[in-house]
Structure 1
Amino acid sequence: MNLPAPNSREDLATKPNKFRKHVMEELRGKAFVYFCVLLLVITIFSIVYFIASRGLTPFLSQGVSIKDMLFGLKWKPEGNPPLFGALPFLFGSFATSILAAVIAAPLGFCAAVFMTEIMPKFGKSALQPAIELLAGIPSVVYGFVGLSVVVPFYRDTFPGQGIGIMAGATVLSIMILPTVTTIATDALRSLPNGLKEGSYALGATRWQTIYRMILPTALPSLLTGVVLGIARAFGEALAVQMVIGNAPHIPHSLFESATTLTSIITQSMGNTTSGSLHNNALWSLALILLLMTFLFVFIVRVLERRVKR
């Protein structure tokens, strides 16, 4: 059976067209990617420049001292003279965030160990989706739950009105639990199987392998999840604002009212005039929040380098 011979001239004519088409598609793809990256970089630098230019104005041209803002205890922007002591807000933000991490870290680590080492099938099918579902709940819902459940419980159990740092930390610990648990689970699942097999071969039990081999090896990654959880809690505004009491002073108890940087910004920003000293002082608090975010990102990068080593 004789097959028709291919038309070599037509093949030679179509090859350059196909080559040009592939080259143009690759160029369009590269141009789109570079445009997106450039737009992202410009957006980030624009946000940083805008916040920094507004946040540094009180220190550069309006006579506010950086030392007085960072270590001052009184916030009276309408006083004579005006006072902008932000130490109570810094204390409230750090206290609620760190206490939330202290509560959420053991729960997240135990949940990760349960899902990866004890009951992996049940963890993947039921527990992990349930924990990740917590990340999709709006902040206002957490705030209402805190007002309806957490605050009455603390009011009936401990002295005080129930609102305060402990109530805010409890709500935040539930909010950051998906972050801590997800990162811890990924870290434990990424460990090589030979690590556990070698431990079992030496006669160690499952629990000895978990707390003497698996957890110490994955500790940098586990700490990364804790730091990201703290960063998430540090920037939360609405849920904490609903249960912390919003009192601008340093509390003497975990069950006394306090406030945070995000709370004072959201409460006061709409009641100030753009360009006024009070408004610029709030932008200074926003700049502090931005710098703290950079610090958390730096800590995460350091921990990631330890994991790679």
Structure 2
Amino acid sequence: MTAPRDGPAAPAPLAPGLYIVATPIGNLADLSPRGADILRRADLIACEDTRVTATLLRAAGSRRPMLRLDDHRERARTDALVARMARESVALVSDAGTPLVSDPGFVLVRAAREAGVPVTTAPGPCAAVAALSISGLPADRFFFAGFLPAAPRAREAAIAALAAVPGTLIFHETAPRLAATLAALAAILGDRPAAVARELTKRHEEVVTGRLAELAARFAQSPPRGEIVVLVGPRAEEAATDDEVEAALRRALATMPPGRAAASVAAAFGVPRGALYARALALAAEDEGEGGCDAT
């Protein structure tokens, strides 16, 4: 008679290599069965924050060891990790979503590939794609831009560089910066249709749609909470009217000097910068004249 086992057999180890595992962006039930299996079988879990990943591992039934691999440690630890992958399996996870998408991992994946290490993906949640799928904005072509710079001038330049992208633009943003970002997007891109997706897959999931200027005003009055994805619809294919271009130029001049305002609107509408710069100077002079007149 065979003696009963003390407990369930340990899962078989994985083949050596690097495994990229997408993790839930809010709802733990979104971890895929294959992703959970990798987390139970990998020799090591590389993660952004061991406290966050510990919760995920408990939900997956995993007791595998963890190693912190955040933005500050990735370069320093990559060589040692790649060396371990010759004989061990390493699973890479982020705190939420797909690793490398606004999260660490690029340095590690590139080094692993250069060393000939097998790299495998267990795909799953991604906040940018999840938001796009429920935004009601065109999804046939899109551009993910991550987080915009915090400094106003750098942010304006980054937005202007995206003005001619023929698809929906997707950004990550923090709650305190949301209203300012929406206002900058409206000033530079024009008042395009947009959506703000918040707390995706969680109990208080919310998607607010409208025009950029409308959304900027709304969230300036009522700042949101939680993790946020901003989506901006593509530029209309038809040529803008002179009135639309001038309205955009006036909005841009409210926050920028004439040269930057002309450049941003020219990029957004595909019109020559020279003519817009002359008009921007004229509008700025008008505003200064109006502001300098005393009532009698």
TM more than 0.5 = no
Larger Cα Rg: Structure 1 or Structure 2? 1
Larger relative strand fraction? 2
Q: For this structure pair, what is the TM-score category when the shorter chain's length is used for normalisation?
A: under 0.3
Return the TM-score normalized by structure 2: 0.22
Return the TM-score normalized by structure 1: 0.22
Larger relative helix fraction? 1
